[in-house]
Structure 1
Amino acid sequence: MSDSSRDTAEGAGWGTAEHGAYKRLMPHKVEKVSWLNPKTLWVSRNGVVASWFGDPTGRTRTRWVAQRAAAGAPADKVVRRDDPDRFSFLVIGDTGEGDDPQYAVVPGFLKIGQDTRFAVLASDVIYPVGGADDYGTKFFRPYQDYRAPIYAIPGNHDWYEDLGGFMRVFCDDVPALAPEPAPRPLSRAWLRSLLWHRPRENDGQRLDEARALRGSSAQQAVQPGPYWAIDSGPVRIIGIDTGLLGTLDAEQGAWLRELSQGPRPKILITGSPLYVDGEHHPCAIDGGGTVDGIVRDPAHHYVAAIGGDIHNYQRYPVQVDGRTIQYVVSGGGGAFMHATHTIPHISVGKVTEKDFRCYPLRGDSLAFYSRLYGRRLHLRRFFTLTEAEGTAVIAERLGIPPTRTPGGPARVTRRTRLVASLLGAGGRPDRTSRFRLPVRKIYTQLFSPSSATYSPPFFKCFLRLDVTPETVRLRCYAATGNRAQEIDPPVEDEVTIPLA
């Protein structure tokens, strides 16, 4: 097994390593998602509009589900697979930018997944707005050689065009929804309708051609809707759709409560992680209750909850009534990396820093962002930290031992402390906090088009879950964009979950 980022800097992808062969898989011309483009910002406006004038996704989702039911989809929305008691599947989240970081994951994904029964895409299948014609280069092409079915749950970006592209691809090419009656003039719904982005009338003309890339019978899967359950071997996998704003409508909440009944072990897949960045987000359900309340109920027998949306990997083993539920963030499948170095010293849900795992390591995340800012602001000599310096200053700020022993001397200087503070290392406020530079969604919007984004290491990842009647073995595999990690993808984290 190759070194991981926890072993060596080379295992993390640093150094003058040979770049991977993933570029051979990419189209000749790649249109990179640019959040500096006013057109991109304008077509992505529905999340903001929903937060101002009310979120209509619950009602729209109900209409999609009713349309699928009328077409013969099972009423309980359960896919019953003929898998053995011992099988494996993949989970990958936030994939669809269609550029170097997404395609860099593909060689390892195919190698590790060659004997798996199916895969699940957890959130944001297509950026920026889930358009049907984007599926060719951002879904069908990258995964054309994965020989098993792929199921998916939508993320907020898939909802920016009312989920039309997602439903056509994953739900038996359903027709578009009929227009709703016009809202009452001057109402909030009327104001929302004036600003609401809708798909182009001719969107999806290239979809049939793209489908041929995954045209074999072994690759086909039809979902009963945007949320579903899969009964496979000894487990039930439940995928929920958290829409634009990260909540569940009442109808879906009632379905989730019903499908969670019974002694069968369950794994939740959600577009909004329940534990992330050292915080608990239980996910509200319209009409009362939360998703995590359902997950924690001992009568429901959940063993894990895996969420996308945040573009990295995190794991929180939370003790609930004498048992452990593994809460996982798995959104590192292709979109721009969200920082881990801003995650504070962990103390949440009785999970301590000793129990917590993340990828990339905080020190690597800090070094990654320092180099991006150094290039972008033309201040490389000031901003750029080596991976050893990043590791050392994170250890100092959080009061933890270095996760990886630096390969050389790494003295923590006033400059490294200042850079770490400016980039929000450790999430700890100090005298420079008012000058802190953006490293999360604001950074993505401003700087993701930078050429530095498309140079390894990318710190992407995906999960493989091996199921037996007794356990689920969960492993997080890394994809850096370098050849060494393509040939032998390193395991960045591993946990065995008992099903008893």
Structure 2
Amino acid sequence: MSPAGPSRSSAANAGWGCRQLGDFRKLRPLPGRFSWLRPGPLLAARNDWLARWLGDPTDEMRREWLRRLPGLLTAVQPAPRVDLAERMIERFAGRDRVSMALLGDAGEGDASQYAVVPVLLEAAGDTDLAVLCGDVIYPAGGIRAYEDRFYRPYADYSGPIYGVPGNHDWYDGLTGFMTTFCDVPPDAGPPPPGGRGGRAALRRLLWRRPATVTVADVAGMRWYRDADSQLAVQPGPYCVIDTGPVRLVLIDTGITGRIDADQGRWLRRVSTTSPKPKILLTGKPIYSYAALQPCPIVDEAGGTVGDVNEIVTDPACNYVAVIGGDDHNYQRYPLRLHDGRTILYLVNGGGGAYLSATHQIPNVDALAPACHEENFRCYPLRGDSLAHFSRRYDALLRFGSGRLTISPHDATTLMAERIGITPPRTGTPPEQISRRARRAARRVYPLPARGAPAAHNLMSVFFDSDRPPMFKSFLRVDASAAEIVIDCWAATGCREHEREPVLEDRMRARPDASGRWCWTSETPGRSVP
């Protein structure tokens, strides 16, 4: 396979001017688009608001799920393949090399998810395993949604698929996730949201509970992925996948983006008991939008007793990368620490859900000297993001008149001017940009285009698109003792890019003489972070 160059090399490789819609449309089970505008999805996702207003019960519920698991796991997976004490999958531990596909925020079940599938099979169909990192199923988990949002789209991926739960997967009490990835009987029911006092009682009254599902219902879905090579069971919502060259550490940040003290102690233990380089996989990114996003470790009283990034940056833990979803795009931050090490922080949320804007990412020199704008990459490019959202807002606010539409070439220049950077690819000369385009940019730029406020969810249907460019992405990781390579592959929705996928970004790490892993970039721009 000969990959196409990144969107930095041409607007065509971003999907602008697409000649033909991709064949992914033939894979979709039903026409139509997932919509947050309907009352059903908003009502189904109400546990998010209840957890933030009345207290988050997911730590207690998670502990109850884990208490249920040991007896179940010994029945479905032989002990040598799962170390229950460490919640470790040892299926790949004897490999000299390992490859994996990582997808984040995939499960909307509409065109934007299925557009990723042909590119995944072309660029990463031969990988040893895959991990879905956060928000596996929108809008609210639920085992019934897994047929068209997990089993059907990935039916032709031959390897096992593991999962990291996101906040949306917790809205059904994690029942769909535990049934699918941990082989819990679907009729077992979720642990109840506990707690004492009036707030807890009100939360229990309003808390959404999953629909009843039978074993036969689940069996009817699983036939899509019933080959021996596809079967996988993991020992809980947080676990370790131990491979020969690298250790993958999967954590569960619940609804509100935190872990409890039990998971924190486990994370410290599994991070220090092996000298292997480690990659943390999480449903919430640690760096996003040019800022640190705290992931606190809390005790049973709700007090903060640490932060996940303190463990990640500890030299004794030997983390080389952190990959998280939740923001629906790709962002790359190679951060240089005070001791000279570099950890690669990636946002990997482009697996299928509606797009989160990148044009609202400020100049990354704000993180200097740890990270500079020249080291940063994002997909879509900021200018492409501005052009995309201008089209959506023009359709919404100007009835498609074109008054708010900004061309990709104009947007490239306008974004570079706005945040003071060198344009990542050639744009319109500044003197040739019309007054109308400049006015449109001033109006579109501050409008809602990312995040989790209610207004964003209500309007996200207008941000998503079933037409190219779709700006979806996923990662492929290839690891050996000599190097780790992380590729970001783009899914534009164009037929030509299904056959010749766009390699949007590539980072390569090799150990130096002292054993310290050093990252280099293989996309246009500065090569050494």
With normalisation by structure 1, the TM-score equals 0.93
The answer on whether the counterparts of 1:90 and 1:113 sit within 8 Å (CA) in structure 2 is yes
Instruction: Give, in whole Å, the separation in 1 of the partners of 2:34 and 2:24.
Output: 19
Instruction: Give, in whole Å, the separation in 1 of the partners of 2:98 and 2:191.
Output: 43
Query: What residue number does 1:360 align with?
Result: 380
Does the alignment pair 1:383 with 2:404?
A: yes
Does the alignment pair 1:80 with 2:101?
A: no
Query: What residue number does 1:348 align with?
Result: 367
Deviation at 1:12, TM superposition (A): 0.6
Query: What residue number does 1:35 align with?
Result: 36
1:144 to 148, 151, 155: 155
**What do residues 434-475 of structure 1 show as CA deviations (whole Å, max 9, x unaligned)?**
xx3211145642333349721111000010111110210111
Deviation at 1:388, TM superposition (A): 0.3
Query: What residue number does 2:6 align with?
Result: 4
Instruction: Give, in whole Å, the separation in 2 of the partners of 1:218 and 1:201.
Output: 29
The answer on whether the counterparts of 1:133 and 1:203 sit within 8 Å (CA) in structure 2 is no
Pairing of 1:39-188 with structure 2 (within 5 A): 39-71=40-72, 72=74, 74-82=84-92, 83-174=94-185, 176-177=188-189, 180=192, 187-188=198-199
Instruction: Give, in whole Å, the separation in 2 of the partners of 1:473 and 1:363.
Output: 27
Distance 1:366 1:179, change over 3 A: closer
The answer on whether the counterparts of 1:35 and 1:444 sit within 8 Å (CA) in structure 2 is no
Deviation at 1:35, TM superposition (A): 1.1
Does the alignment pair 1:326 with 2:326?
A: no
Instruction: Give, in whole Å, the separation in 2 of the partners of 1:183 and 1:468.
Output: 47
Deviation at 1:31, TM superposition (A): 5.4
Query: What residue number does 1:431 align with?
Result: none
Distance 1:16 1:258, change over 3 A: closer
**What do residues 59-78 of structure 1 show as CA deviations (whole Å, max 9, x unaligned)?**
00011111112333612100
Distance 1:4 1:207, change over 3 A: same
Question: Structure 2: 5+ residue runs without aligned partners?
Answer: 75-81, 300-304, 516-529
Instruction: Identify the range of structure 1 (202-211 vs 379-388) with the bigger mean alpha-carbon deviation.
Output: 202-211
Does the alignment pair 1:439 with 2:449?
A: yes
The answer on whether the counterparts of 1:392 and 1:411 sit within 8 Å (CA) in structure 2 is no
The answer on whether the counterparts of 1:151 and 1:223 sit within 8 Å (CA) in structure 2 is yes
The answer on whether the counterparts of 2:329 and 2:472 sit within 8 Å (CA) in structure 1 is yes
The answer on whether the counterparts of 1:282 and 1:293 sit within 8 Å (CA) in structure 2 is no
Distance 1:343 1:203, change over 3 A: farther
SS in 1 for 2:298: coil
Pairing of 1:183-194 with structure 2 (within 5 A): 187-194=198-205
Query: What residue number does 1:430 align with?
Result: none
The answer on whether the counterparts of 1:268 and 1:304 sit within 8 Å (CA) in structure 2 is yes
**What do residues 33-78 of structure 1 show as CA deviations (whole Å, max 9, x unaligned)?**
2211122211111111111111000000011111112333612100
**What do residues 296-347 of structure 1 show as CA deviations (whole Å, max 9, x unaligned)?**
0001100000001110000100012111100000000000010000001112
Instruction: Give, in whole Å, the separation in 1 of the partners of 2:114 and 2:190.
Output: 36
Pairing of 1:293-442 with structure 2 (within 5 A): 293-320=310-337, 321-346=339-364, 347-348=366-367, 350-377=370-397, 378-406=399-427, 411-424=432-445, 436-441=446-451, 442=453
Query: Which one-letter code corresponds to 2:422 in the other structure?
Result: P
Instruction: Give, in whole Å, the separation in 1 of the partners of 2:228 and 2:267.
Output: 30
The answer on whether the counterparts of 1:273 and 1:328 sit within 8 Å (CA) in structure 2 is yes
1:291 to 279, 298, 308: 308
The answer on whether the counterparts of 1:473 and 1:497 sit within 8 Å (CA) in structure 2 is yes
Instruction: Give, in whole Å, the separation in 2 of the partners of 1:70 and 1:335.
Output: 35
With normalisation by structure 2, the TM-score equals 0.88
SS in 1 for 2:488: strand
Deviation at 1:201, TM superposition (A): 2.5
Distance 1:102 1:204, change over 3 A: farther
**What do residues 265-295 of structure 1 show as CA deviations (whole Å, max 9, x unaligned)?**
1000001100000110131001311100000
Does the alignment pair 1:242 with 2:244?
A: no
Pairing of 1:16-35 with structure 2 (within 5 A): 16-27=18-29, 29-30=30-31, 32-35=33-36
The answer on whether the counterparts of 1:382 and 1:415 sit within 8 Å (CA) in structure 2 is yes
Report the identity percentage: 47
Instruction: Give, in whole Å, the separation in 2 of the partners of 1:398 and 1:88.
Output: 37
The answer on whether the counterparts of 2:483 and 2:510 sit within 8 Å (CA) in structure 1 is yes
Deviation at 1:380, TM superposition (A): 3.2
Distance 1:204 1:389, change over 3 A: farther
The answer on whether the counterparts of 2:98 and 2:245 sit within 8 Å (CA) in structure 1 is no
Query: What residue number does 1:270 align with?
Result: 282
SS in 2 for 1:448: helix
Query: What residue number does 2:461 align with?
Result: 449
**What do residues 98-125 of structure 1 show as CA deviations (whole Å, max 9, x unaligned)?**
0001000000101111221001110010
Query: What residue number does 2:481 align with?
Result: 469
Question: Root-mean-square deviation (CA), in Å?
Answer: 1.9
Query: Which one-letter code corresponds to 1:222 in the other structure?
Result: V
Deviation at 1:482, TM superposition (A): 0.2
SS in 2 for 1:285: strand
Instruction: Give, in whole Å, the separation in 1 of the partners of 2:358 and 2:19.
Output: 23
SS in 1 for 2:375: coil
Deviation at 1:202, TM superposition (A): 3.9
Instruction: Give, in whole Å, the separation in 2 of the partners of 1:388 and 1:181.
Output: 51
Query: Which one-letter code corresponds to 1:126 in the other structure?
Result: I
Question: Structure 1: 5+ residue runs without aligned partners?
Answer: 425-435
Deviation at 1:407, TM superposition (A): 7.3
Distance 1:52 1:365, change over 3 A: same
